[in-house]
Amino acid sequence: MCGITGIFRFEGNTEDLRTRVIQMTATLAHRGPDAWGTYASRDIALGHARLSIVDLSMGHQPMDTGEFVISYNGEVYNYIELRQELQQRGIVFATHSDTEVVIKAYKVWGRNAFERFNGQFAFILWDKNNRQLIAARDRYGVRPLFVMKWKGAWYFASEMKAFDSLPGFRREYDIQHLFEHGLLWNTIGSDTVYKGIRTVEPGTYEIYTGAADPSVHRFYSLGCLPQEPPASFDEAKEELRGMLRDAVRLRLRSDVPVGMYLSGGIDSSVLALLTSQVMGERFKSFSVTFGDPDFDESSYQNEMVSFIGSEHHATRIDYDTVSENFLEVVRHAERPLFRTAPVPLFLLSKLVRENDIKVVITGEASDEILFGYDSYKELKLLQFWARSPQSSIRPLLIKRLYPHLRHYSDTKAYGLMKLYYEDFLDTFSNPLAGLNIRIRNNTVLAAALNKELGVKFNQDDLIDKVKATFPADYEHWTLLQQNQFLEMTTLLDGYLLSSQGDRMALGHGIEGRFPFLDHRIVEQTFSWPDSYKLSGFSQKHILRSAFRGLIPASIIDRPKLPYQAPDLRAFIRNGKPVPLVEQYLSPEMIREYGVFDERFTARFLRRFSERSSHQVGYRDNMTLVFLLSAQIALYWARNPRQTSLDERKRIVDITEKSAA
């Protein structure tokens, strides 16, 4: 995996342009520690920090084919098939890299090339003859790409910290976007939490020809591929096994060994099984274990390890590890977090590096596409209850929603839970679907923000803004399908693939690969009836059925434990905040940064001295992590780390004199 940078329409001399793109690339060296290079011409420059995975000797970047130059981050897994197809059309290749396939596919098929790519990618392509720059990103946002217009020029980078190297530039929060990020767990559309910085949206490409805003085109949206009429459940099971196996097969294409993350859940266990079947040889697997048995999943991990016989490595996390690494984790994540779960993943990628592996298969997105989240269950319950709101029987299902949470199964508390969910009966089917509950719970952040900034919460405005991102068919989808779209564009894109995924893996130069995000699987499973995925309250029902008998039953039938890390217990000890919290949430720093309300923060922290961390709920947990990480992210924006590149690793240095 790699880090990419670009500058377009820079009004200065080429030498300055070159220096600038080198500085930007230096901030991304962690993403590509193996080599780096630059291309510079009159008013365009591209930079690349490389993690070598495919065609180690030839796939250098930026790659210049004469007509096109590309700085490319990612993998197009079906590049072998595309290469053959292009060769049949007479296209000649100089390397065996997928990078060259991307360029030549664009040369032949133009913008229609993107929908042929099966993979995870972000790239900046300079079309010399047409003097246009194309910035594109994969369907689900696995690989990042940010854009900023500043002082007349366009700047592009895999991570926003690259912009911090520009002389005179400083990242500042856009407070309204920060609040929306807090409510939804992602900003909406192409917004980021920073002023003036946009993201290229997943599944789109943008064309830049000059100073004007780019034209933005979508090559993919959920549910866009025509599907066959639904197969029977048994046929669908067979299909799922086959599709997953093929997705794993493609994702094992690599010129370096591939390892895998094993969480102990069904998703990674299924992938471990398929990896061992496809690879046919022993591979390395990696896990996090927790010192606190409340969070530890090592018994399930070990069971799967002995089942597939992998060479297993684990790293143990305790409360101190979380607080000690949080500063560095937020530096990589660049935006506020909601949980500390990125910390274990950051340490996991370190462990992978230490064991000489660069690529890992990982199980994200199964919960989105196969209805594994609680939001699907909540919606199903509300939908059922709303058809007969007076029923005293229907709401009894609430007890089955979260059997592992004490206050849900307690008979007395049932009345209160019923009361809580009753409040959503009127609203759950509005276009925000399952987000209604998340937004309601997260609205507390409005009180946390500095009152002088005047941020207002208006649900109708938010709905309108989110609605603008809906695909054309959205209103014809089932409520659970709508919820899938929302989960994929908020939690998955804005947190799991970015803060917890790409940034944590690439923080140690590790590439994650996601078989469940093979678009063929996403599209096919999307077309299946809801009941295949959520049967009663049985989540990921078809996955469980399809792999029953193939992986240990204890893993298939284990109670669901959401991936979590010991958030509060890492930050509050014996009712007292740890030094990291004391420093970044001190009245002085709150005042200096001006993002949060001083009184709120002080009162919030005092709350923990009055009760043990075991008594604190989801919301306090989330609020603390949000406040702390938002302060720390801003600290890094104001105090960027100086980084430099190793001259000996420079493999491309093109300076081209273009015709004026």
Q: Which of 195, 404, 407, 576 binds other proteins (CB under 8 A)?
A: 407
The answer to the question of residue 394 lying near other proteins (CB under 8 A) is no
| DSSP code for 428 | T
Would you say 185 or 477 has its CB closer to other proteins? 185
Stretch that binds other proteins, among 94-102, 218-226, 410-418, 530-538 (CB under 8 A): 410-418
The answer to the question of residue 422 lying near other proteins (CB under 8 A) is yes
Q: Which of 110, 230, 403, 415 binds other proteins (CB under 8 A)?
A: 415
Binding letters toward other proteins, positions 454-473, x by CB under 8 A: ---x----------------
Q: Which of 290, 600, 608, 636 binds other proteins (CB under 8 A)?
A: 600
What residue spans of 510-559 are helical by DSSP H?
519-527, 530-533, 541-547, 553-556
* Element (DSSP H or E) covering residue 27: none
Q: Which of 603, 638, 641, 650 binds other proteins (CB under 8 A)?
A: 603
Q: How many positions of this chain bind other proteins (CB under 8 A)?
A: 30
* Element (DSSP H or E) covering residue 366: helix 366-369
CA atoms of 438 and 442, how far apart (whole Å): 6
The answer to the question of residue 598 lying near other proteins (CB under 8 A) is no
The answer to the question of residue 397 lying near other proteins (CB under 8 A) is no
Place of tokens 């070598």: 52
The answer to the question of residue 400 lying near other proteins (CB under 8 A) is no
CA atoms of 37 and 505, how far apart (whole Å): 22
User: Could you tell me the smallest distance in angstroms from the CB atom of residue 116 to other proteins?
Assistant: 45
β-pair type (258-261, 284-290): parallel
Stretch that binds other proteins, among 205-213, 324-332, 499-507, 599-607 (CB under 8 A): 599-607
Smallest CA-to-CA distance from 17 within 37, 48, 41 is with 41
Stretch that binds other proteins, among 51-59, 80-88, 288-296, 419-427 (CB under 8 A): 419-427
Q: With contact defined as beta carbons under 8 Å apart, do 592 and 585 qualify?
A: no
Residue 434 three-state SS: coil
Would you say 95 or 427 has its CB closer to other proteins? 427
CA atoms of 445 and 179, how far apart (whole Å): 7
User: Could you tell me the smallest distance in angstroms from the CB atom of residue 457 to other proteins?
Assistant: 8
Q: Give me the phi and psi of 8, to 5 degrees please.
A: -135, 140
Sequence-distant (≥ 6) Cβ neighbours of residue 234 within 8 angstroms: none
The CA distances from residue 535 to 69, 329, 542, 637, 649, in Å, are 50, 38, 9, 46, 54
Helix 479-487 and helix 374-386: axis angle, to 10°? 150
User: Could you tell me the smallest distance in angstroms from the CB atom of residue 627 to other proteins?
Assistant: 11
Q: Which of 88, 411, 458, 639 binds other proteins (CB under 8 A)?
A: 411
Q: Which of 277, 309, 420, 655 binds other proteins (CB under 8 A)?
A: 420
Q: Which of 22, 49, 330, 417 binds other proteins (CB under 8 A)?
A: 417
Stretch that binds other proteins, among 319-327, 464-472, 598-606, 652-660 (CB under 8 A): 598-606
Binding letters toward other proteins, positions 615-654, x by CB under 8 A: --xxx-----------------------------------
Smallest CA-to-CA distance from 109 within 75, 142, 86, 76 is with 86
Longest C-alpha distance within the chain, in Å? 79
The answer to the question of residue 423 lying near other proteins (CB under 8 A) is yes
Q: Which of 418, 465, 558, 649 binds other proteins (CB under 8 A)?
A: 418
Q: Which of 278, 413, 561, 654 binds other proteins (CB under 8 A)?
A: 413
The answer to the question of residue 389 lying near other proteins (CB under 8 A) is no
Burial category of 97 from C-beta neighbours within 10 Å (exposed 0-12, middle 13-18, buried 19 and up): buried
Place of tokens 């390892």: 259
User: Could you tell me the smallest distance in angstroms from the CB atom of residue 1 to other proteins?
Assistant: 38
Sequence-distant (≥ 6) Cβ neighbours of residue 635 within 8 angstroms: 584
Find the binding residues for other proteins in span 427-456 (CB under 8 A): 439-444, 446-448
Find the binding residues for other proteins in span 298-317 (CB under 8 A): none
> Looking at 23-92, which runs of residues are DSSP E strands?
35-40, 44-50, 63-64, 68-76
The answer to the question of residue 604 lying near other proteins (CB under 8 A) is yes
β-pair type (3-8, 44-50): antiparallel
- Interface residues with other proteins (CB under 8 A)? 407, 411-420, 422-423, 439-444, 446-448, 457, 600, 603-604, 607, 617-619
